Amino acid sequence: MAKGKTQTGTGKKIAFFDTTLRDGEQAPGFSMSAEEKLMMAATLCDLGVDVIEAGFAAASPGDADAVKRIAAEVSGPAICSLSRATENDIKAAGEALKPAKKSRIHIFLGTSPIHRTAKLDMSKSQVLAAIERSVSMAKSHCDEVEFSAEDAIRTEREFLVEALECAAQSGARVLNVPDTVGYTTPDEIYDLFSFLIANVRGAENAIFSTHCHDDLGLAVANSLAAVRAGALQVEGAINGIGERAGNCALEEVMMVFATRKDQFGVDIDIDTTKIYPASRMLSKMTGNPVPRNKAIVGRNAFAHEAGIHQHGVLNDRRTYEIMTPEDIGLPGNALILGKHSGKHALAARAKELGFEIDDDRLAAVFVSFKAMADQFGEIADAQLIELISGVTGSESAVWSLKRVEMRAAYGAQAEPFARVELEHPARGLVTDIATGEGPIHAAFNAVQHITGLSATVEELEINHVGAEGRTDCIADVLLRVEGQNFRGRSRTRDVIPAGVEAYVDAINRAAASLNRDAFGHEKKAVKPADAQNAA
């Protein structure tokens, strides 16, 4: 079993139905190409989800193609296509799913009064007839059929029972009860699932599934309540993406089950260490950053800035962490140095950066650090190194950005370039001119030439902060250097220097951690004999 998989041995297995590529992708601003969907599906497969809803084959040729490619290339989870309760949709889904080792057609039909009248113009008996016809037909086009009573939460209970009975008796193996409009509450959905499980006849061979939207911010809580009442499948999407306010965030439910086994005691087949990579991949592909304070996968989810918290975490992480960053596949912890930080955290970071400071000098550094933190908020390592060097007199061994100029040319013949001037105590001022796909990219290339470190940009985020009178740009960059991640940050008045300075900041961290000199070469350890000769 892979690290992170959660088995409690109770025998009650909860299946995860991932609809990132269907419900998630259909939300405005989240579209993905077939190639990207394929990469995401492979990542979801690594994560260990049980079902991947790869798209809605009848919606467009592109969707059909994506479903088909995922069906052909991803094996492990069942591959599913959404389908309306019509012959054409079912055929399109069946065709796209042909290459799958395990295939599922997911038929949905509105059952609530508002859907029956305003959208479908169908009577109750017409709805039941359509369910019977479509589920029976879909059985011969795939391995298993799921039926969703769309807008189940606002459907009359007696009719919902009839609709689900009809689906189960026609051969549906999964009976999904969606809260299509994100209207329900934990108590209400618990009561509904308990009622349905007790009253739907002919569902012995089927499982009940929950699919909650987040319009009132209750999707995860509602899904958990449905599980408590007996649902055996949870539907949702990574990062909670989906129609309107989104779907249930699957990573949150996964970590609830993994962290609160005492409360739920269910088995899941999830490798939780793949959660963070899946979340990052999705965010990068769709160009939608994950909110900093998002549960589980936000940048602050494992970051500590307050002095009291940092002191506790440095002594024993469990003081303020109920899960570890490693549990979700996030390397390292994040003690953020800012105005709320205390001396313990400052001393620990200084030590990591190679400074041995006695208590008196630490006290002096701390005073300057607090003044700097008041001005800048979060303090980057490069700033800290400069500060410690300034206060203690030890030489700072980092690059600083002195000047950047660029040409932002655009067009077929255009060749953007940047001229960057960096300074290092061991090399003085060094200038490089480089080209790139764009001016920022060209500037990054120039920094790489000068520092001798090659890096790929994993993330780059630039935000305007401040209010009337004064606005600054904060740039955050995540670089991959020799298989490791390094963050950099900068705050300046303009976008361009902010981006380049953050890049230099991350390069400085990489050089310190990988023990590189000002040319990017590995620093040689000074042997005692050499030291004596030098003296």
What is the binding site for ligand KIV (CB under 6 A)? 23, 82, 108, 148, 150, 176, 178, 180, 211, 213
User: Least CB distance from residue 213 to Zn ion, whole Å?
Assistant: 6
User: Least CB distance from residue 447 to Zn ion, whole Å?
Assistant: 45
**Residues within the interface to Zn ion (CB under 5 A):** 23
Residue 471 CB partners (closer than 8 Å, separation 6+): 464, 465
Angle between helices 307-315 and 343-352 (to 10 degrees): 60
Residue 41 CB partners (closer than 8 Å, separation 6+): 21, 52, 54, 70, 73, 74, 79
Residue 251 binds which entry of Zn ion, ligand KIV, none, CB below 5-8 Å type-dependent? none
**H, E, C per residue of 411-458:** CCCCCCEEEEEEEECCCEEEEEEEECCCHHHHHHHHHHHHHCCCCEEE
Q: Which is nearer to Zn ion, 23 or 165 (CB)?
A: 23
User: Least CB distance from residue 181 to ligand KIV, whole Å?
Assistant: 8
Residue 108 binds which entry of Zn ion, ligand KIV, none, CB below 5-8 Å type-dependent? ligand KIV
Q: Which is nearer to ligand KIV, 247 or 400 (CB)?
A: 247
Angle between helices 34-47 and 61-73 (to 10 degrees): 40
User: Least CB distance from residue 19 to Zn ion, whole Å?
Assistant: 7
Q: Report strand pairing: 5-6 vs 334-335.
A: unpaired
Q: Which is nearer to Zn ion, 50 or 179 (CB)?
A: 179
Residue 372 binds which entry of ligand KIV, Zn ion, none, CB below 5-8 Å type-dependent? none
Sign of CA dihedral 188, 190, 192, 198: negative
Q: Which is nearer to ligand KIV, 210 or 310 (CB)?
A: 210
Residue 115 binds which entry of ligand KIV, Zn ion, none, CB below 5-8 Å type-dependent? none
Residue 349 binds which entry of Zn ion, ligand KIV, none, CB below 5-8 Å type-dependent? none
Please state, in angstroms and rounded to a whole number, the distance separating the CA atoms of residues 75 and 98: 13
Phi/psi at 398 (5° precision):
-125, 160
Residue type at position 508: N
User: Least CB distance from residue 190 to ligand KIV, whole Å?
Assistant: 19
Beta bridge mates, 489: 476
User: Least CB distance from residue 17 to Zn ion, whole Å?
Assistant: 11
Residue 111 binds which entry of Zn ion, ligand KIV, none, CB below 5-8 Å type-dependent? none
Residue 150 binds which entry of Zn ion, ligand KIV, none, CB below 5-8 Å type-dependent? ligand KIV
User: Least CB distance from residue 281 to ligand KIV, whole Å?
Assistant: 22
Q: Which is nearer to ligand KIV, 118 or 363 (CB)?
A: 118
Q: Which is nearer to ligand KIV, 108 or 486 (CB)?
A: 108
Q: Which is nearer to Zn ion, 23 or 252 (CB)?
A: 23
Q: Which long-range contacts (CB under 8 A, 24 or more apart) does 192-196 make?
A: 192/152, 192/153, 192/157, 192/229, 193/225, 193/226, 193/229, 193/230, 193/231, 194/229, 194/230, 195/157, 196/160, 196/161, 196/164
Q: Report strand pairing: 268-271 vs 5-6.
A: antiparallel
Residue 148 binds which entry of ligand KIV, Zn ion, none, CB below 5-8 Å type-dependent? ligand KIV
Query: Comparing C-alpha atoms, which of 419, 403, 407, 427 is closest to residue 492?
Result: 403
User: Least CB distance from residue 247 to Zn ion, whole Å?
Assistant: 6
